[in-house]
Amino acid sequence: MFFQLVMKHHANAKSDILSGLTVALALVPEAVAFAFIAGVHPLVGLYAAFMVGLITATFGGRPGMISGATGALAVVMVALVAQAEQQFGEGSGVQYLFASVVLMGAIQITAGALKLGKFIRIVPHPVMLGFVNGLAIVIFLAQLPQLQTFTPEGKWGWVSGDWLLGMEMFWMGGLILLTMAITWGLPKITKAIPSALAAIVVCSLLVIFADVDTKRVGDLASIAGGLPDFSVPLVPFNLETLMFILPFSVIFAAIGLIESLLTMTVIDEMTETRGRGNKECVAQGAANVVTGFFGGMGGCAMIGQSMINVNSGGRGRLSGIAAALFLLSFILFASGLIEQIPIAALTGVMFMVVIGTFEWSSLRIMGKIPRHDAFVIVLVSGVTVLTDLAVAVVVGVIVAALVFAWEHAKHIRASTTIDSNGWKIYDLSGPLFFSSVADFKDLFDVKNDPQDVVIEFQNSRVCDHSALEAIDNIAVRYNSAGKTLHLRHLSKECRALLKNSGTLCEVNVLEDPNYKVAVDELD
């Protein structure tokens, strides 16, 4: 597959391969750090980055998008590992993690098979802006511990200590600024090689040959290892195990799918192409199933590394495949060399990712967009930083939907006329649904209306059960007053909803507006 893609996409093969190398270098400290966060061996994170990245790049629905072990999943996984260790004994946490990752993958495959990926389209643009800004802030905050000392904690973990001082901070800050300057300035001179890769190489050579005393990748952990081995998770196959891992697996699957599908949307906009959400769901699920059986912690799309890849010229599947294979080669053959790379160089690259990811235009438009949209942007950004991505997106969608319902509740109105028969016509305008029924009921003057009353629905639509109840309530009021209520110009869908109105409503359909229903034919 690798060499076939090289031949097929020879024109962009060089860019994809160099971009993949850049991404692989950036993946190493991220995967190790996320493994620390989850409380597992660093190789568990590296194996996940390799396997998830390789499978999603090969079979996924968004060429150019990079997947691997992510912080969004790691912060939830740490709770599973700790709880399993406490409940089932020391050393069992990682095995229950592997089992939950397998189940997570099965859930994601099911979501893709049911074509649930298309529901990402209901995420409003303010939520997308909040998501991007929140992740940029999270990526930035994740780099700050690199400016601090490392204090070992527990079997695989470490915590940040005091801020670096003196020459340590001078070299760290200087190398970060040098990396950022090269990453920013080199494309203005040449685009022959990815600027981020050039920055990493320059800083690494400077540190190695000048023997600069600064933190290096090897200070985090050794990345040397062999090929991942197949192993069924060592957990009891019973209902107790299923009940323990199921809630975690559902959360993992939701976080993974939401982050991947939103990242796919961002890459779609950057490349002016369209990915296939449901295909990505299936590929990601398959990747996590495989990862769980080969000792990986699972993963999903990574917006930071995806931005590095796209900005470095990686557009095809080859870039993601190359990144995964380079990462594996680091583990097998080049761990000693990779461990000499200064942390500052990789931190500088990620700071440039932060600058490129954050939607600075959202700050300029805050005073020009509706206040509720500005509130949603800030809300989603804040919740992303304080909790996790899945919660932030769900909260944002709910708030946006409630605001939409509230605003459209004000749109229900009616103009009244008397026709040649002496009937009073209420020409309804606006959607009739749960939020607008109160105003709908106040539109009618049952006591003073003539014997026959018509509600004209040509410019309105019955949307839900609350609307049906409201219509029936009005019909009962007119019936009690000895008057007849007519409903006119209902669509086919509206008439189907009203079929249970019985004798309360006389439905007189003269014309049917043609309502179209959007369908997803691509996925």
In this prediction, residue 493 carries a pLDDT of 65
Q: Which of 339, 368, 396 is the last residue of a domain?
A: 339
Percent of the chain with pLDDT over 90: 44
User: Measured in whole angstroms, how far is the alpha carbon of residue 82 from the centre of its chain?
Assistant: 26
In this prediction, residue 1 carries a pLDDT of 52
Q: Is the pLDDT of residue 158 over 70?
A: no
Other C-beta atoms lying within 10 Å of the C-beta of residue 151: 11
In this prediction, residue 507 carries a pLDDT of 46
In this prediction, residue 95 carries a pLDDT of 95
Higher pLDDT, 1 or 475: 475
Task: Please state which of the ranges 156-165, 208-217, 356-365 shows the lowest mean pLDDT.
Answer: 156-165
In this prediction, residue 517 carries a pLDDT of 33
Question: Which residues lie below 8 Å from residue 385, measured CB to CB, with a gap of 6+?
Answer: 134, 137, 138, 141
Q: Is the pLDDT of residue 466 over 90?
A: no
pLDDT band at residue 284 under the 50/70/90 scheme: very high
Task: Report d(CA 493, CA 503) in Å as an integer.
Answer: 19
Other C-beta atoms lying within 10 Å of the C-beta of residue 520: 12
Does 440 lie in the same domain as 322?
Answer: no
DSSP 163: E
Please report, as a single letter, which amino acid is at residue 270.
M
Each residue of 102-139: pLDDT tens digit? 999 999 999 999 998 877 777 888 988 998 898 889 88
Does 265 lie in the same domain as 117?
Answer: yes
Does 112 lie in the same domain as 251?
Answer: yes
Q: What are phi and psi of 254, to 5 degrees?
A: -65, -45
What's 464's domain CATH number? Answer: 3.30.750.24
Q: Is the pLDDT of residue 275 over 70?
A: yes
Task: Report d(CA 231, CA 242) in Å as an integer.
Answer: 18
- What is the number of domains present in the chain? 2
Does 432 lie in the same domain as 330?
Answer: no
Assigned domain for 364 exists: no
Does 255 lie in the same domain as 125?
Answer: yes
Q: What is the 3-state secondary structure (H, E, C) of 451-503?
A: CEEEEEEEEEEECCHHHHHHHHHHHHHHHHCCCEEEEECCCHHHHHHHHHHHH
Q: Which two tokens stand for residue 137?
A: 């802030």
If you average pLDDT over residues 150-159, what whole number do you get? Answer: 52
Task: Report d(CA 158, CA 161) in Å as an integer.
Answer: 9
Q: Which of 279, 309, 339 is the last residue of a domain?
A: 339
Q: Is the pLDDT of residue 152 over 60?
A: no
Does 52 lie in the same domain as 135?
Answer: yes
Q: Which two tokens stand for residue 71?
A: 């912080």
Sign of CA dihedral 70, 72, 75, 80: negative
Task: Please state which of the ranges 146-155, 181-190, 228-237, 386-395 shows the lowest mean pLDDT.
Answer: 146-155
DSSP 342: B
Q: Which of 381, 480, 376, 470 is nearest to 428 (CA)?
A: 470
Each residue of 321-344: pLDDT tens digit? 999 999 999 999 999 999 999 999
Does 302 lie in the same domain as 416?
Answer: no
Does 136 lie in the same domain as 40?
Answer: yes
Q: Where are the alpha helices (DSSP H) in 60-124?
A: 71-88, 93-113
Q: Is the pLDDT of residue 484 over 90?
A: no
Assigned domain for 109 exists: yes
Instruction: Give the chain's mean pLDDT.
Output: 85
Q: Which two tokens stand for residue 62?
A: 């968004």
Q: Which of 487, 477, 476, 430 is nearest to 453 (CA)?
A: 487
Q: Which of 249, 241, 243 is nearest to 107 (CA)?
A: 249
Assigned domain for 245 exists: yes
* Neighbouring-strand partners of residue 507: 487
Q: Which of 339, 362, 377 is the last residue of a domain?
A: 339
Q: Is the pLDDT of residue 519 over 80?
A: no
Does 317 lie in the same domain as 435?
Answer: no
Check: CB of residue 237 under 8 Å from CB of residue 372.
no
In this prediction, residue 379 carries a pLDDT of 94
Check: CB of residue 127 under 8 Å from CB of residue 373.
no
pLDDT band at residue 212 under the 50/70/90 scheme: very high
Assigned domain for 188 exists: no
In this prediction, residue 513 carries a pLDDT of 43
Q: Is the pLDDT of residue 163 over 90?
A: no
In this prediction, residue 54 carries a pLDDT of 96
Each residue of 32-83: pLDDT tens digit? 878 877 778 889 999 999 999 999 999 999 999 999 988 878 878 988 998 9
Does 242 lie in the same domain as 95?
Answer: yes
* Neighbouring-strand partners of residue 508: 488
Q: Which two tokens stand for residue 474?
A: 């009005």
Assigned domain for 517 exists: no
H or E segment to which residue 506 belongs:
strand 506-508
Please report, as a single letter, which amino acid is at residue 453.
V
Q: What's the distance, Cα to Cα, between the start and end of the chain in Å?
A: 24
Higher pLDDT, 241 or 462: 241
Does 424 lie in the same domain as 334?
Answer: no
Assigned domain for 376 exists: no
pLDDT band at residue 153 under the 50/70/90 scheme: low
Instruction: Give residue for tokens 């994170």.
Output: 45
Question: What global pTM score does this model have?
Answer: 0.77
Q: What is the extent of the structural domain holding 455?
A: 410-508
In this prediction, residue 10 carries a pLDDT of 56
In this prediction, residue 271 carries a pLDDT of 85
For residue 480, with 0-12 CB atoms within 10 Å meaning exposed, 13-18 middle and 19 or more buried, which class applies? exposed
Check: CB of residue 73 under 8 Å from CB of residue 256.
yes
- One DSSP character per residue, 165-206 reads -HHHHHHHHHHHHHHHHHHHHGGGT--SS-HHHHHHHHHHHH
Assigned domain for 385 exists: no
Q: Residue 366 in 3-state DSSP? A: coil
Each residue of 1-32: pLDDT tens digit? 555 544 555 558 888 999 999 999 989 988 88
Assigned domain for 58 exists: yes
Does 46 lie in the same domain as 154?
Answer: yes
